[in-house]
A and B are shown apart, each in its own frame.
Chain A
Amino acid sequence: MNKILVVDDERALRLLVVDTLEIGDYEIFETDNGIDALEIAKNKKPNLIILDVMMPGMTGYEVCEHIKTNPDLAHIKILILTAKGQQADRKAAKYALADYYLSKPFSPMELLLMVEKIIED
């Protein structure tokens, strides 16, 4: 079964992502901070992590870097949710080694399709 980890400090947004993905056949884990996210990633080895960028404590980019530089976890796909949507931030997202990005606000439909495609690959 495909596992997805959702990381976002905003409760409403987390709910949105989790509920959106509900109709797919995924096992979904969620957390509101980067440190717990790394723990869950190590234990559960999800296929995909959906990651918000602006979080207190460890930012999404930092989580991304930790995952990608860890040989055990580097295979995990990362989709970054960015709210800034500016050119500079897309570059930063690429630099931070994320695999995909999606800017907020996004259409749940778009998210679902994107996730399906990522999992398929």
Chain B
Amino acid sequence: MENEIIKAKKQLEEANRRLQKKQHSLKEQNAIIEKLNVRLKNENKRSQQQKETLQAIVDSIGAGIVMMDLKGEIIFINEAWRDLFGYLYFNKGYNSKGNFYIDDNIDFSTEFFFREMLTGMENKDKIFNKLISLIHDRDSKYSVDIEQLSPVRRFINLYSNPCMSHAGRDFGRVFIARDISHQKEVDRLKLELVSTVSHELRTPMSSILGFSELILTRKLSKDRYKEYVEIINSEARRLTSLINNFLDIQRMESGQQVFNKQFNSMSQIIEEVVRLFEGTGDNHLIIYNNSKKNMPQIYCDRDKMLQVLSNLLSNAIKYSPDGGEIKVDLTAENGYAKVSVTDQGLGIPEYIKDKIFTKFYRIDNDKRRDIGGTGLGLAICKEIIKAHGGKLGIDSTYGQGSTFYFRIPLLDSIPGDIEGIEEICTSSVTNNGQLLIVEDDMTMVKLIKEILKNECIEMHSVGSGEEAIKLATEHDYRLFILDIVLKGRLNGWDVVKELKNNPSTADIPIIISSIYENKNDSSCTDISDYLVKPFKPEQLIKVVKKALEGTLDSKMAVNIDKELEEEILLLLKNKGMSAKSIEHSGDTLIITLDREEGFFE
């Protein structure tokens, strides 16, 4: 009996052990299954994300994509395709948005699909046959530009490639459709331009070649001869002008034109152009009312501004054949300088106002046909103004004259992308400024005037200190350029002293230009700059610009031994001044200081 119990107990224990083992094993299996579950979930998620990403890519490509399988059946159509051909009725059979594939139970044949797609397109039969031939073609690529006439007018590019994975697995064929109407329009415009240029160039050439041949092959009367030669000459000029203008504008449009921008007085530029045209028009009166004082200088390329204004004035004269007043105005509004040219001539019809700035455009009707010109003037003006960050515009009533105007932004400082100018000037300068050159050497005076001729500042000159002081009280000078050796009793330093003692002239910057190096360092703080003759023109320009624009720098010219340089710097440092830059000029040490406003009273 006991043995049986022990046996039973042993059996139970054994069973227990086995059960536990099984349980343990099950647990392990469960854990593995759990892990696999999690992995599967993650894989699913990733797969779903990939699918969504691919879907997003395919839908945002902006080209219609259609996928055809190896059997030649359409299995996928993307959103963009549906957008392109949304007017086709088989749209109703499509799957709703967001699903990757077409419903399996949609029943349309590939042939039907292509036929429908090609409705309203040029050469549709030829293209249809080609597309059908591609169904079982595993290798060919195909691309065609199609013009569609209905229901929409546009150009479509259809492109097809066999669809193969990297591993070489063949999936079928893909078709891509893009709307290329814009490109076609650009191409058309280019072609038209080439045509127009070709015509514009050949026309004067015809006269030149034709008349010269007549001169060579015929006996002509003197009058005839003269007439022909005049025509040849004038057509040759016209051709030259055309070629120059055309090259100008192509250069400008392609961004290769280099503009030489500086701060200039627009008022002065206008005056110059008005002077140029005075007397050219018969019955024309050109008026520029220069009443605007304190017009800030404008950052622009002076020559190009002259070109624009010349063109506008020339047009004003040309297109008011009955004469009349031509008014030029300069105003500042909303951070822009606005220049306008108003004539009382033929005026411009409304529908032409946009076209008029395009290349070679000339308004043609009876009155204007003989006016001539290349048709490029306004196009060039537009490019120039555009390169200045501005805009060109028209106000005109047909039959009552026109106003052409342009706006250029007023800048406070020179933009950073200019080479050759190191210092940044920060204040707007009033134009019509005057400077006084105090110099007894006339050659030197001439030289200084020549160097500074583009700085748009009026220059007076006197030979003696006495005259200088007298003029200084009568005029509002912005700057003095002073030699040390002068006519009369006073020398340059005396003049400096006098100017600084007079409150009305004390703040006007002074530049010393002398053959002597500066031995007098007590006057250092009174002068803006000290130039030793002979100096380079760029030096003078730089120094004048700085003085005019109110630089905060102060220069010290100290005549010392080089060994003392360090001591000097230390001394300055103790006095709270630091050197921004140090230059050596012979025995002279020129220190540019970091100057705080109001530090030197």
**A105, B205: Cβ atoms closer than 8 Å:** yes
- Within B191-230, the residues touching A (CB, 8 Å) are 195, 198-199, 202-203, 205-211, 213-214, 217-218, 224
Total count of chain A residues near the partner, CB < 8 A: 26
Known A56-B364, A83-B199, A86-B195; contact A13-B206, beta-carbon cutoff 8 A: yes
Interface contact B231-A84, CB-CB below 8 Å:
no
User: A83 contacts B198, CB within 8 Å?
Assistant: yes
A23 CA to B209 CA, complexed, in Å = 19
Question: What separation, in Å, do the CA atoms of A108 and B217 have in the docked complex?
Answer: 10
The B32-84 residues at the A interface (CB cut-off 8 A) are none
B213 A108 Cβ-Cβ under 8 A: yes
A15's nearest neighbour on chain B, judged by CB, is: B231
Measured in the bound complex, the distance between the Cα atoms of B184 and A12 in whole Å is: 37
The docked-state distance in angstroms from the alpha carbon of A56 to that of B369 is 8
- Complex interface residues of chain B between 412 and 455 (CB less than 8 A to chain A): none
- Are A54 and B217 in contact, with the CB atoms below 8 A? no
Contact, CB under 8 Å: A105 / B206:
yes
A85–B213 CB distance below 8 A: no
A113: interface (CB < 8 Å) = no
* B331–chain A nearest beta-carbon distance, Å: 37
Tell me which residues across on chain B come within 8 A of A83, comparing CB atoms: 198-199, 202-203, 206
- Does A94 touch B at the CB level, under 8 Å? no
Contact, CB under 8 Å: B195 / A106: no
The complex places the Cα of A84 from the Cα of B192 at a distance, in Å, of 11
Expressed in whole angstroms, the Cα–Cα distance for A56 and B199 within the complex equals 13
Give complex CA distance A114, B276 in Å.
49
Query: Is B594 an interface position by the 8 A CB rule?
Result: no
Are B214 and A19 touching (Cβ within 8 A)? yes
* A32 / chain B contacts, CB cutoff of 8 Å: 369
Whether B198 and A85, one on each chain, are in contact in the complex, defined by CB atoms closer than 8 angstroms, is yes
B364 to chain A, nearest CB (A): 3
Minimal beta-carbon separation of B196 from chain A (angstroms): 9
Q: Is the CB of B213 within 8 A of A107?
A: yes
Tell whether A10 is near chain B: CB-to-CB under 8 Å. yes
CB of A57 within 8 A of CB of B364, answer yes
* CB–CB B195/A108 < 8 A: no
Map CB proximity to B onto A10-21 as digits: 1 under 8 Å, 0 otherwise: 111101100110
Taking the closest CB of chain A, its distance from the CB of B48, in whole angstroms, is 55
Minimum Cβ distance to chain A for residue B199 (Å): 4
Q: How far is the CA of A20 from the CA of B369 in the complex (A)?
A: 24
- In chain A, residues 67-110, which have Cβ atoms closer than 8 Å to a Cβ of chain B? 83-86, 89, 103-109
Q: Confirm or deny: A9 has a beta carbon within 8 angstroms of a beta carbon on chain B.
A: yes
CA distance A19 to B210 in the complex (A): 10
- B209/A105 in contact, CB under 8 A: yes
Give the CA-CA distance A15 to B230 in the complex, in Å.
Answer: 13
- Measured between beta carbons, the chain B residues less than 8 angstroms from A16 are 206-207, 210-211, 214
CB of B223, distance to nearest CB on chain A (Å)? 12
* B553 proximal to A (CB < 8 A): no
With A12-B231, A84-B195 known as contacts, the answer to whether A104 contacts B205 (CB < 8 A) is yes
A1-55, CB < 8 A from B: 9-13, 15-16, 19-20, 23, 32, 54
Closest A residue, CB atoms, query B370 = A11
Q: Cβ of B301 < 8 Å from any Cβ of A?
A: no
Chain A residues with CB under 8 A of B370: 11
Please indicate the chain A residues that have their CB under 8 angstroms from the CB of B145 in the complex.
Answer: none
- Give CA–CA (A119, B224) in the complex, Å: 27
Q: Which residues of B contact A12 (CB under 8 A)?
A: 207, 211, 231, 235
Bound-state Cα–Cα, A10 to B370, Å: 9
Which residue of chain A has its CB nearest to the CB of B201?
A83
Question: Nearest chain A CB to B356's CB is how many angstroms away?
Answer: 15
Determine the chain B residues whose CB is within 8 A of the CB of A86 once the complex forms.
195, 198
B207 surroundings in chain A (CB, below 8 A): 10, 12-13, 16
A35 to chain B, nearest CB (A): 11
What's the Cα separation between A93 and B345 when bound, in Å? 39
Nearest A residue to B214, CB-CB: A108
A-contacting residues, B385-431, CB 8 Å: none
List B residues 222-261 near A (Cβ within 8 Å): 224, 231, 235
* A85 cross-chain contacts in B, Cβ below 8 A: 198, 202
How far, in angstroms, from A107 to B216 measured CA to CA in the complex? Answer: 12
A110 to chain B, nearest CB (A): 10
A106-B369 in contact (CB<8A): no
Report Cα–Cα, A86/B197, bound state, in Å: 13
Most chain A CB inside 10 Å of its own CB: which residue of B198, B202, B365: B202
Rounded to whole Å, the gap between the CB of A31 and the closest CB of chain B is 13
Q: How far is the CB of B209 from chain A (nearest CB, A)?
A: 4
- Measured between beta carbons, the chain A residues less than 8 angstroms from B210 are 13, 16, 20, 105-108
Which residues of chain B are near A84, meaning CB under 8 Å? Answer: 195, 198-199
> B235 to chain A: which residues have CB within 8 Å?
12
A106 to B214: give the CA distance in the assembly, Å: 12
User: What B residues does A10 contact at CB under 8 A?
Assistant: 203, 207
Q: Kindly state the separation between the CA atoms of A106 and B365 in the bound complex, as whole angstroms.
A: 28
Q: Which of B202, B208, B213 contacts A109 (CB 8 A)?
A: B213
Chain A hits for B231, CB < 8 A: 12, 15
**A20/B214 contact (C-beta < 8 A), A12-B235, A105-B209, A107-B209 known:** yes
Closest Cβ of chain B to A25, distance in Å, is 16
A13 & B203 in contact (Cβ 8 Å cutoff): yes
Q: Which residues of A contact B205 (CB under 8 A)?
A: 104-105
Give the chain A neighbours of B218 by CB distance below 8 A.
Answer: 23
Instruction: Report the separation of the CA atoms of residues A15 and B134 in the bound assembly, to the nearest whole angstrom.
Output: 61
Residue contact B369 to A54, C-beta cutoff 8 Å: no
Q: Which residues of A contact B198 (CB under 8 A)?
A: 83-86
Given A23-B218, A84-B195, 12 new contacts (CB under 8 A): A10-B207, A11-B370, A16-B206, A32-B369, A84-B198, A84-B199, A85-B198, A86-B198, A89-B195, A105-B202, A105-B210, A107-B210
Residues of A within 8 A of B (CB): 9-13, 15-16, 19-20, 23, 32, 54, 56-57, 83-86, 89, 103-109
Enumerate chain B interface residues (CB-CB to A < 8 A): 195, 198-199, 202-203, 205-211, 213-214, 217-218, 224, 231, 235, 364-365, 369-370
The 10 closest A-B pairs by CB, nearest first: A56-B364, A105-B206, A83-B199, A83-B202, A104-B206, A16-B210, A12-B207, A105-B209, A105-B205, A104-B202
A-B CB contact pairs (8 Å), 30 listed: A10-B203, A11-B370, A13-B210, A15-B231, A16-B206, A16-B207, A16-B210, A16-B211, A19-B214, A20-B210, A32-B369, A54-B199, A56-B369, A83-B206, A84-B199, A85-B202, A86-B198, A104-B202, A104-B205, A105-B202, A105-B205, A105-B206, A105-B208, A105-B210, A106-B206, A106-B209, A107-B209, A107-B210, A107-B213, A108-B214
